[in-house]
Amino acid sequence: MTTTDLALGVLGYGLRGSLARTAHRPGNGARVTLLADPDPAAREKAATDLPGVRTVADHRNVVADRSIDAVLVLTPDHTHAELACQALRAGTPVFLEKPLEITVEACDTILRTAYETGTPLYVGHNMRHMPVVRLMRDIVARGEIGAVKAVWVRHFVGYGGDWYFKDWHAERRHTTGLLLQKAAHDLDVLHWIAGGYTRTVQALGDLMVYGGNPHRRAPGEPKTADWYTRDGHWPPSTQRDLNPVIDVEDVSLVNMRLDNGVLAAYQQCHFTPDYWRNYTVIGDAGRLENFGDGPGAVVKVWNSRRSGYRADADAEHAVPDAQDEGGHGGADPLLIDEFVRFVRDGGRTDTSPVAARMAVAAGVRATESLRDGGRPRDVPPLDPDLAAYFDRGQTARTRN
């Protein structure tokens, strides 16, 4: 392994510019050297945050630049296929933010382009590196609850009004819907823990709170400086300066049957006061549930006997502290560590482009179902040649 830093290009320096800052570690394996964002304010901020970075307006001046070893694509969801495929075709390894894209067809275009060009593709599903997720998966793998039969996830998106109804997230043309936009994380985790992919999906949903809020910005008017506050903007009716167009749902309920028979449910609400995720995984010999999902959280396991509710579970596992205080419970630095290792050495990774595609496919079909009175939908499988290519670690051909 070389000790030289990887030279990273970056596309997009908005909120997720945080990940570019995490990846910028001069002398420690990677540094951001070239960055594109059409927004002059974003470029100015990047130049301050990332000393030595060269900034440009047009992403085409980054994707094929021979001075970079890889590119991080941190732009809005509906741009992913176009930008990632340009980089893949130029032979530049890609880190692509989740969700992979906003349609099944666009996802498959990305995977096919990676397959045909042989250029490494890594999808940034950081939740696979979150301590609470890894703990739950380890408990399942140790057999503490027997064979998994059901997974139910409740997602309380307390900052939904700030994060998702004030910019591009609020419009179908940029996201398909928030069910896909946000749930791509949890559908991926749910598939990972359950050991299967969704085959059939059915959903209900509605725009219940933000749709009736008349306090919208005029088209083209930028977000206000106080668009996000940790403690303010409560209750949701006090929200102001929302996106001019809001045509996505703010609550959704999804039921799924996986290809290994597991039954799963996912529920998302953008107007709760609290922001966290609650998972329960039920096996044929026990049940686990997380209480909190960040520092100080625990995962409880009940598996010794039947009873009424017992707060004192049979086992209580503390969620390990993050090794690093970086974003998403310490997941982001680990995500970048894995990506840098993947670019240098190749091989398998905990995140998976195939799983990323299957999470989007389930989210897209669920969104179709909820906009069609809850009629069930089948989730299309991925082309087996593509699945095999990624499953063997993106190496060109199977050995005979």
Shortest distance, position 143 Cβ to ligand NAD, whole Å: 30
Q: Per DSSP, what are the bridge partners of residue 205?
A: 252
Q: Which is nearer to ligand NAD, 102 or 297 (CB)?
A: 102
Shortest distance, position 177 Cβ to ligand NAD, whole Å: 13
Q: Which is nearer to ligand NAD, 29 or 329 (CB)?
A: 329
Q: Which is nearer to ligand NAD, 110 or 288 (CB)?
A: 110
Q: Which is nearer to ligand NAD, 317 or 328 (CB)?
A: 328
AA identity, residue 78: H
Shortest distance, position 291 Cβ to ligand NAD, whole Å: 22
Q: Per DSSP, what are the bridge partners of residue 283?
A: 148, 286
Shortest distance, position 397 Cβ to ligand NAD, whole Å: 32
Task: Summarize as ranges the residues that interact with ligand NAD (CB under 6 A).
Answer: 11-16, 36-39, 42, 59, 74-77, 79, 83, 97-98, 124, 126, 167, 328
User: Do 295 and 329 form a contact (C-beta atoms < 8 A)?
Assistant: yes
Q: What is the rounded CA–CA span in Å between residue 272 and residue 366?
A: 22
Shortest distance, position 323 Cβ to ligand NAD, whole Å: 18
User: Do 69 and 343 form a contact (C-beta atoms < 8 A)?
Assistant: yes
Shortest distance, position 167 Cβ to ligand NAD, whole Å: 6
Shortest distance, position 344 Cβ to ligand NAD, whole Å: 22
CA distances from 33 to 37, 52, 93, 209, 332 (A): 14, 7, 15, 43, 19
Q: Which is nearer to ligand NAD, 84 or 370 (CB)?
A: 84
Shortest distance, position 130 Cβ to ligand NAD, whole Å: 10
Q: Which is nearer to ligand NAD, 61 or 238 (CB)?
A: 61
Q: Which is nearer to ligand NAD, 185 or 300 (CB)?
A: 185
Q: Which is nearer to ligand NAD, 248 or 282 (CB)?
A: 248
AA identity, residue 251: V
CB atoms closer than 10 angstroms to residue 398: 8
